Amino acid sequence: MTARQQWSVVGAIILLLGVALFVATRMLGDELFPVSVGSDAPPLRAVTLDSTHRVKTLADYKGRVVLLNVWATWCEPCREEMPSIEKLHREFGPQGLSVVAVSLDDAGTESHIRDFVKQYGLTFEILHDPSQVTKKNYQLTGFPETFIIGREGKIRRKVLGAADWSSESNRTLLRELLGGTTASR
């Protein structure tokens, strides 16, 4: 075999491995790159509930600590935890915490979402993702799921299910993140 033929075989093997890697990352992306504490926060794209339906992304909160709550109006545990999220927002919002709740309710249910917000007296930002891209990007396994994202864009805490967001452990983490110190949990 000539040197040229050997390099052709090597090139073909490298090309084949490249194609296999590309296919594997597309098909197994969630398993290869899980959304977990310490990982970069995945993209977020949802719309506001006002009449202009402005698109919001994580870039809108760059440099801020974000509590990202993913929920739905029909979810009973979501209803249970909303008051503690509101309490946390009132305490830490003035210190720089951005509370963003993304509803994954179906398209056309905006009035139900607004009614929910009014019923619970929620004053933090409520967004809507009827296409449920957030569910895929954040690899959700149920409702609600909440992510605390540090100023640097890394997930600092991930909570599956309802939580008491006014608990001392959650408040301590937020104090640390808002104060600029690092906290690993």
Residue extents of the structural domains in the chain? 1-33, 35-178
Is residue 184 predicted with pLDDT exceeding 70? no
Work out the burial of residue 157: count CB atoms within 10 Å of its CB; fewer than 13 is exposed, 13-18 middle, 19 or more buried.
Answer: buried
- Taking 70 as the threshold, does the pLDDT of residue 162 lie above it? yes
Q: Is the pLDDT of residue 185 over 50?
A: no
Q: Do you know the residue count of the chain? A: 185
pLDDT exceeds 80 at position 128: yes
pTM score of the predicted model:
0.80
Residue 70: CB atoms within 10 A of its CB come to 26
For range 113-139, the mean pLDDT = 95
The yes-or-no verdict on residue 65 having pLDDT over 80 is: yes
For the segment 69-84, the average pLDDT, to the nearest whole number, is 96
Asked if residue 28 has pLDDT above 60, the reply is no
**Quick one: CATH architecture of 35-178?**
3-Layer(aba) Sandwich (3.40)
Is residue 124 a contact partner of residue 102, using CB atoms and an 8 Å limit?
A: no
- The half-sphere exposure of 104 on its side-chain side, counting CA atoms within 13 A, is 20
CA-atom Rg of the chain in angstroms: 21
Distances in whole angstroms, Cα of residue 148 to Cα of each of 8, 42, 79, 171: 50, 12, 19, 11
Residue 30 pLDDT exceeds 70: no
Mean pLDDT, rounded, for 163-179? 92
**What does the alpha-carbon distance between residue 8 and residue 174 come to, in Å, rounded to a whole number?**
56
Q: What is the mean pLDDT of residues 86-114?
A: 95
**Does the pLDDT at position 54 exceed 90?**
yes
pLDDT of residue 70: 97
Question: In this predicted structure, what is the pLDDT of residue 181?
Answer: 46
Q: How confident is the model at residue 40 (pLDDT cuts 50, 70, 90)?
A: very high
Residue 174 CB-density burial (10 A; 0-12 exposed, 13-18 middle, 19+ buried): buried
DSSP-derived pairing of the beta strands 45-48 and 65-71: unpaired
pLDDT at 32: 53
Residue 57: is its pLDDT beyond 70? yes
